[in-house]
Amino acid sequence: MHQPLLKQPSVLLGSASSGGTIAAMRHLAGHGVGVNLIVDHPFCPAGWSRCTGRRHPGPVESDSERYLDRLLDIGKSDPGQVLLPTSDELVWLYTTNAPLLARYFRLYQPPVDTIRRTLDKALLEQAAISAGVAVLPSWDPQNLDELAELAPQLPYPVLIKPRTHVHRLRNDKGMVVHSADELAAEYPRFLARERYRFDEMPRAPDAVRPVIQKFVEIGREGVVSISGFIGRSADVFVTRRSTKILQRSRPVGVGVCYESRPADPALSLAVHHLCRELGYFGLFEVEFILHDGAWTVIDFNPRLFNQIGLDLRRGVPLPMLAYLDALGEADALRRLAAEAQDENPAEKVVFCDSFTLHAILLAQTLCMRTRLQDLAYWHSWAKQNRAHMVRFAFDRGDPMPGIIHVLSELYLGFRAAPRFVRTMLPSSPLVARGL
């Protein structure tokens, strides 16, 4: 255990089913920081961790009005806790209600304009261009007439992509279309099925309208993540690089397996420029894909992220850096960030949601949608990397979150089995797609 800080406030986290929340909870507890949790159902894995302090029952994060009321009740009864965001939903909730929440919590949030430009894919692209960071070709038709005029000119395939995931009731990443006729048919359907809960919270007026982006097939280079931390003072900056090599669904989806990669100074510098352009500080994961010889930015996650345990294993104490900056502990922050700059480029670390990986392989085998050599690859990959694997939830010293994660995934899997089978990945290692 690390030497605890004196008189330190606790941290309050949400998204109790997220791998990022589980990893951050264990990490902060290891530094002597108390961690409390909001849970929306009994089978949230983080809620079963021995590192959890108080467990506060609460609504789902998409129910913004009730979630805010619950936060205020918690803050009134136990003021002074640090709020660290664990999802896009909570990033937006904390930011747009900062004056109200600041009465009871220590907030660590950039201003609303920064977060709007970060979470809105079209505004993020504009910021990246201003920062000199490459982007994929994309289009933003304002209405169906503009879409009809644009459609014949597009370089198919293209991705119909949600502008933001805040307040969405669906969790898909988008839809790939391969022709002008298919775009003309699917775009209105995509628009019609998008349901948001913006009646309760402020939003951009065009947030429901999706963007259209060039869809790029990804090979061995995968989807590259530059994750890390930038402080309120931008001279505090530390990153790590990894590659997403397997995701839950095709053609776009949440990552299941990641591999560490040596530092890429050019990509880290690009992220620093983008953060400065946005006015952003805090934790981040920025995703890139290779297109026409350039690494293009496709997403910016301004919060804890699912595979954060990969960076913790590699010596970057991300939640603790955010915690110290939230408290204004500048000297301690700089010392810890300086220690995290040292990286062993030869070190091999992987992240894996082991249960989901094996569930995908089993489902594909039963449906005869995989090749024997692909199955052999992934079983060999898991075996070879077992010694340096960071798992989604399992830890020998804190086993219950891993057990609950399996039970929860089984339940969700049975409910979503038909859709899961339709959207399964091929099990080739060349499976990552742009988001």
CATH of the domain at 363: 3.30.470.20
Q: How far is CA 226 from CA 68, 131, 240, 271, 288, in A?
A: 31, 16, 6, 8, 8
pLDDT of residue 432: 38
Q: Are residues 19 and 94 in the same domain?
A: yes
Q: Are residues 164 and 279 in the same domain?
A: no
Look at 23-27, 133-137, 166-170, 414-418 and tell me which has the smallest mean pLDDT: 414-418
The backbone torsions φ and ψ at residue 352, rounded to the nearest 5 degrees and listed phi first, read -150, 135
Task: Concatenate the DSSP letters of all residues of 140-187 into one string.
Answer: --SSHHHHHHHGGGS-SSEEEE-S--TTBS-----EEE-SHHHHHHHH
276-279 own/partner pairs: CB under 8 Å, 24+ apart = 276/131, 276/234, 277/127, 277/128, 277/130, 277/131, 278/110, 278/114, 278/117, 278/118, 278/127, 279/110, 279/111, 279/113, 279/114
Q: Are residues 271 and 383 in the same domain?
A: yes
Could you say which of 160, 184, 214 is where a domain stops? 214
pLDDT of residue 435: 36
How sure is the predictor about 1, in pLDDT bands with cuts at 50, 70 and 90? very low
Whether pLDDT at 97 is above 70: yes
Q: Are residues 388 and 367 in the same domain?
A: yes
Distance CA 370, CA 358 (A): 13
Instruction: Give me the percent of the chain exceeding a pLDDT of 70.
Output: 87
CA angle 298, 149, 291 (to 5 degrees): 25
Mean pLDDT on 16-37: 97
pLDDT of residue 420: 53
Question: Can you give the length of the chain in residues?
Answer: 435
**Residues 101-132: tens digit of each pLDDT:** 999 999 999 999 999 999 999 999 999 999 99
Tell me which H or E stretch contains 92: helix 88-96
Partner residues linked to 224 by β-bridges: 243, 288
CB 214 within 8 A of CB 137: yes
**Residues 350-380: tens digit of each pLDDT:** 999 999 998 888 877 777 666 778 888 999 9
Q: How far is CA 11 from CA 31, 44, 165, 302, 425, in A?
A: 12, 18, 25, 17, 37
Residue 385 lies in a domain: yes
How sure is the predictor about 201, in pLDDT bands with cuts at 50, 70 and 90? very low
pLDDT of residue 320: 98
Q: Are residues 281 and 418 in the same domain?
A: yes
How sure is the predictor about 195, in pLDDT bands with cuts at 50, 70 and 90? low
Whether pLDDT at 196 is above 70: no
Mean pLDDT on 250-276: 91
3 state DSSP class of 44: coil
Mean pLDDT on 9-20: 97
Tell me the pairing of strands 81-83 and 105-107.
parallel
**Exposed, middle or buried, 351 (CB in 10 Å: 0-12/13-18/19+)?**
buried
- Going by the DSSP 8-state scheme, the letter that residue 425 receives in this structure is P
Q: Are residues 251 and 179 in the same domain?
A: no
Q: What is the CATH number of the domain that holds 99?
A: 3.40.50.20
**Residues 142-168: tens digit of each pLDDT:** 999 999 999 999 999 999 999 888 876
Average pLDDT, the chain: 89
Mean pLDDT on 86-104: 97
Could you say which of 165, 193, 214 is where a domain stops? 214
pLDDT of residue 208: 74
Owning domain of residue 80: 11-110
Q: Are residues 263 and 167 in the same domain?
A: no
Q: Are residues 77 and 191 in the same domain?
A: no
Mean pLDDT on 242-265: 87
Q: How many domains does the chain have?
A: 3
Residue 58 lies in a domain: yes
Residue 434 lies in a domain: no
Partner residues linked to 249 by β-bridges: 424
The pair of three-digit structure tokens given for residue 201, joined into one six-digit string: 């919270």
